[in-house]
Amino acid sequence: MNRALPEMLHCINTPGNVAGSFTDMSVLERQRARIKWQQEQLLNQPPCYFDGNDEFNGYSMPNHAQDFHNLINSEVGLVVKADPGLDNGWQEFGQFGGEGSGLGSSGFVNGSGFELNYGISRTLSCPQEVAAEMEVAAVTETARRESVSPEKMSSAVGRESFKKRKADRNQSLKAVAEEEPNEKRIKECNEEDESKITEEYSNNSKNTTNNDNNIKRETSADTSKDNSKVSEVQKPDYIHVRARRGQATDSHSLAERVRREKISERMKYLQDLVPGCNKITGKAGMLDEIINYVQSLQRQVEFLSMKLAAVNPSLDFNIDSFFAKEVFPASTSNFPIGVQSEITNPAYLQFNPLQQLASCTGLEMGINTPDMALRRTTSTPLSLPETFLNSSCFDVISSTSIVFRISVSMLGTFFLTKVFSHYSKSKPQQLGMEICKTFTIIVEEEGSNDASNLKMEM
């Protein structure tokens, strides 16, 4: 490997191969020079590669094609690393090449996120790939075309097809390297490689929180490339490929695509948020629904403030009194833990001996206080049967916190209706803040019920 490096640099630097100075070369030119050099090496001294095979004996795949592949990849890494005129991106390219060869796993040069996500599937599909490669090495071009197309849907397709492409390259180089369309395609695929890399760098430079997006996009880009490749094999359609590549590499269209994706993501969230919006497809319809929902909410706020203004003659609202009078009876039915510790603590203490009593009191209260139930808000009648249900199988699942909480709330109901009716008569001013807290929690409880109904997931 190391021995091959100066040779190649020399080859590249010689004016016979490449016109112009080395540092002035564009990326594309460098790429071409490299391919040219590889071709020449392949043609002139094929045993060199089989010497190199010894270096890869430690890996689990003794397959010839795989070794060949690895060798080429490691070479790519080395060459690019040793390149004096290289920018940061190419350094990374070399890095990943080195990683690929070092790990012995197919060594396809790609972005880190992609590498990570599809590493598993890749290793799983490795024997198949090897077999496929063998097949590719054996059969003709038409058979290869057939083997590519059914795999279009799988996630590892871009990679596999790329490997096949490389295998193609090997094969074609070994057999007849001077075939014109083949060479063209090699260049094409190398250019694609480049464009992919540039795209990845632009992706990596973006925020890391968009990592998901990027990976997704990469996959789509990969599959699209694969599609284009397939179409190219079937029917050379260069304009189509060019357009796609232009779209991928152009920074403006990239930014535009990112923006559109972000917007559609937010639209998806909105779709989840707005009720009745998840059946509608199309942006206009969704926007309609969102507008309607926002308007209805705003109108509700108007209406409710009007109602409150109409109900209360003074803006004072007499908060303490009406919390004590109206809100609190409703709130005690689903009274949660920890609102008022000095009152719920006795409930905790008497919890075990009063297990049976608790269910009885719950039943009694449910039956004996119809007027209270009538005055309750909508969610409280729903919560009462729940309570009964849980109290009926009380002994079985008494360890779970939900039942514990519900039973405590029942006990709290039992005690608090008395305690508070007494308390609120005596000291309404002191209670004000505590009741306010309680009310808040009740509101939250019911709000969360509503939220689960409305699929509020934000």
Partner 1 sequence: MHLSLSLSLSLSLSLSTISSLRFWHDFLSHQVKKSAIRMLKQEFLKKWIMGLQICSASKKEMSILERKNAIKLSADLAMASTRNGSTNWSRALIANASKENDNTTLVHQILGKDSESMIKKASNSSAFRDKRGTTCRGKKMLRNRCCGIRRVKKMAASASSIAKKLVKKRTQVLKRLVPGGESMDEFSLMEETLDYILSLRAQVDVMRHFANAAPPN
Stretch 156-215 residues interacting with partner 1 (CB under 8 A)? 208, 211-212
Nearer to partner 1, 315 or 396 (CB): 315
Cα 92 to the chain's mean position, in Å? Answer: 25
Judged by CB under 8 A, the stretch of 192-200, 230-238, 262-270, 340-348 that binds partner 1 is 262-270
Give the largest CA-CA distance in the chain.
105
Minimum CB–partner distance for residue 75 and partner 1 (Å): 13
Residue 150 binds to partner 1 (criterion: CB under 8 A)? no
User: Does residue 375 contact residue 326 with C-beta atoms inside 8 Å?
Assistant: yes
Rounded to whole angstroms, the Cα distance separating 302 from 308 reads: 10
Rounded to whole angstroms, the Cα distance separating 391 from 369 reads: 19
Judged by CB under 8 A, the stretch of 111-119, 132-140, 177-185, 248-256 that binds partner 1 is 111-119
User: Does residue 202 contact residue 251 with C-beta atoms inside 8 Å?
Assistant: yes
Nearer to partner 1, 234 or 295 (CB): 295
Minimum CB–partner distance for residue 235 and partner 1 (Å): 27
Residue 36: burial class (beta carbons within 10 Å; 0-12, 13-18, 19+):
middle
Residue 304 binds to partner 1 (criterion: CB under 8 A)? yes
Q: Of 319-348, which residues contact partner 1 (CB under 8 A)? A: 319, 322-323, 325-327, 330
Nearer to partner 1, 74 or 182 (CB): 74
How big is the site for partner 1, counted in residues (CB under 8 A)?
74
Nearer to partner 1, 324 or 411 (CB): 324
Nearer to partner 1, 7 or 302 (CB): 302
Which residues are CB-contacts of 310 (< 8 A; sequence separation ≥ 6)?
none
State which of residues 51, 87, 178, 450 lies at the interface with partner 1 (CB under 8 A). 450
Q: Of 55-84, which residues contact partner 1 (CB under 8 A)? A: 81
Rounded to whole angstroms, the Cα distance separating 107 from 79 reads: 15
Q: Of 367-386, which residues contact partner 1 (CB under 8 A)? A: 377
Q: Of 284-303, which residues contact partner 1 (CB under 8 A)? A: 284, 287-288, 290-291, 293-295, 297-298, 300-302
Residue 210: burial class (beta carbons within 10 Å; 0-12, 13-18, 19+):
middle
Distances (CA, A) of 361 to 331, 349, 354, 398, 408: 17, 17, 10, 17, 12
CA dihedral 246, 252, 256, 262 (to 10 degrees): 110
Minimum CB–partner distance for residue 308 and partner 1 (Å): 5
State which of residues 17, 31, 53, 112 lies at the interface with partner 1 (CB under 8 A). 112
Work out the end-to-end distance of the chain between its first and last CA atoms, rounded to an integer number of angstroms: 55
Minimum CB–partner distance for residue 363 and partner 1 (Å): 26
Judged by CB under 8 A, the stretch of 5-13, 232-240, 353-361, 449-457 that binds partner 1 is 449-457
Residue 98 binds to partner 1 (criterion: CB under 8 A)? yes
Q: Of 406-445, which residues contact partner 1 (CB under 8 A)? A: 436, 439-440, 442-444
State which of residues 139, 269, 368, 421 lies at the interface with partner 1 (CB under 8 A). 269
Residue 96 binds to partner 1 (criterion: CB under 8 A)? yes
Amino acid present at 364: E
DSSP 105-170: S------HHHHHHHHHHHHHTHHHHHHHHHHHHHS-HHHHHHHHGGGGGSTTHHHHHHHHHHHHHH
Q: How many residues does the chain have?
A: 458
State which of residues 305, 345, 392, 400 lies at the interface with partner 1 (CB under 8 A). 305
Minimum CB–partner distance for residue 219 and partner 1 (Å): 15
Minimum CB–partner distance for residue 351 and partner 1 (Å): 26
